[in-house]
Amino acid sequence: MSTTARALADEVRDSRQNAWEKTDHATAIVATSQLGPEDTQVVRRIVASAGYTGEEFEQMVQQVSGLVVGTVEALADDIPTAASA
């Protein structure tokens, strides 16, 4: 299993991008700091397809989910900081 959590998170983000644009899931992810049920299903499917099982599977699901949430939050962060004001 040489697929990294980052690569899996990118795959999840790429596969969910169209759905997020249509339903504004990204806003919900930012508001709750967690993935929705459909997003979680995609994470679990992609992690399983990478060959992870058992405890490694659950750990990778958590890691990938965290990376996806962090990426979505970072991309949505368009509020000016005090330094740029």
Average pLDDT over residues 22-42: 83
pLDDT on residue 82: 54
> In the predicted model, is pLDDT for residue 47 greater than 90?
yes
- 44 versus 21: which is more confidently predicted? 44
| pLDDT for position 23 | 73
Q: Which single residue is written with the structure tokens 């040489």?
A: 2
Q: How many angstroms separate the Cα of 26 from the Cα of each of 4, 10, 31, 44, 83?
A: 23, 15, 9, 18, 26
The domain ranges of the chain are 5-75
List the one residue out of 57, 55, 73 whose CA is nearest residue 8: 57
| pTM (2 d.p.) | 0.82
pLDDT value for 85 = 47
For residues 64 and 5, the answer to whether their CB atoms sit within 8 Å is yes
Least confident of 9-13, 51-55, 67-71, 80-84: 80-84
- Residue 83, number of CB atoms within 10 A of its CB: 5
